[in-house]
Structure 1
Amino acid sequence: MHLSEILKPGAVRSLAQVTSKKRLFQELSELAQSEYGLNASEVLDALQERESLGPTGVGQGVALPHARLHGLDQVVGLFIRLEKPLDFDAVDRQPVDLIFALLAPESSGVDHLKALALVSRTLRDADLRSKLRANDDPTALHAVLSAAQGIKAA
């Protein structure tokens, strides 16, 4: 599995400012609707429900919100780069500015976990995070993420 297989070029955004985690999830939900044809309110509910179990801010300014959804047939990704970091209750208590959301079918056991591991490993790379933070063009952001596809999931 490669990031380019789960992340469409149109599912990448750079946003100037998001004022809350809820607003970020709304942006992700609208992006999921426009790029993948998903119901925005269902995506929003699923992301918020998963986040209520524990924050998905993994540290180093990165958050990996994820959820399972009825009606999906494969894992899909959404990426948002924030110009102004957002408090996300991350494990290191640092605000986040790089958000890679994963949406998976309800029945996708191992594929969801493989995708989550792939994204997590990829975004642990300090050089990659620096490149993402240095770009605000969605096309360039997608290219940086797609170029990282040599990092394989388990």
Structure 2
Amino acid sequence: MQFVTLLKPEAVKVLTSASSKKRLMQDIGDLVSGAYGMNAGRVVEALIARESLGPTGVGHGVALPHARLDGLNEVVGAFVLLDKPIDFSSVDRQPVDIAFALFAPEDAGVEHLKALALVSRTLRDNSVCSKLRANPDAATLYTILTEENSVQAA
């Protein structure tokens, strides 16, 4: 699995308006609605429901919100870089400025886990996160994510 199969360029955005976790979830809902045609309200509800089970802030300024949604045929993602970090109830109590949201079909088993592992592994790399934080341009962010993954896969 590679980022290029998970992520459309239209699903990458730099956010200047997110001031809370809830606002970020709404922004992600709007982003995936535009990129994948998903219902923004359902996306936000699913993300908030998943978050109620435990925070998806994995530390070092990174969050991996994810949810399962009926009507999807494949696992898809959205990447957001925030210009100002927000509280996300992360495991290390650090604010989040990088969020990669994943959405999987209700019946996706292994593919959902593979996608989570890929994103988690990539965003645990400090050099990747440094590159992402240093390039607040959606097209550049997409290139960094897709190229980084193809180099690691080779």
TM range (shorter): over 0.9
Q: Per-residue displacement from partner, 1:118-146 (whole Å, max 9, x unpaired)?
A: 00000011100000000111000000000
Matches within 5 A, 1:32-43: 32-43=32-43
SS at match of 1:81: strand
1:103 equivalent in structure 2: 103
Q: Per-residue displacement from partner, 1:62-119 (whole Å, max 9, x unpaired)?
A: 0000000000000000000001001001001100000000000000011000000000
1:130 equivalent in structure 2: 130
| TM-score normalised according to structure 1 size | 0.97
Residue type matched to 1:141 in 2?
L
SS at match of 1:11: strand
Offset of residue 17 of structure 1: 3.5
**Does 1:86 pair with 2:107?**
no
SS at match of 2:111: helix
Residue type matched to 1:105 in 2?
P
Aligned residues: 152
Residue type matched to 1:23 in 2?
R
Runs of 4+ displaced beyond 2 Å? none
Residue type matched to 1:95 in 2?
P
Offset of residue 16 of structure 1: 1.7
2:119 equivalent in structure 1: 119
Residue type matched to 2:68 in 1?
R
Matches within 5 A, 1:5-154: 5-150=5-150, 151-152=152-153
SS at match of 2:58: strand
How far apart, CA to CA, are the structure 2 residues paired with 1:79 and 1:43? 15
5+ residue gaps, structure 1, are none
| TM-score normalised according to structure 2 size | 0.97
Offset of residue 19 of structure 1: 1.0
How far apart, CA to CA, are the structure 2 residues paired with 1:17 and 1:42? 21
Residue type matched to 2:120 in 1?
S
What do you get for the CA RMSD once the two structures are aligned? 0.8
5+ residue gaps, structure 2, are none
How far apart, CA to CA, are the structure 2 residues paired with 1:45 and 1:76? 17
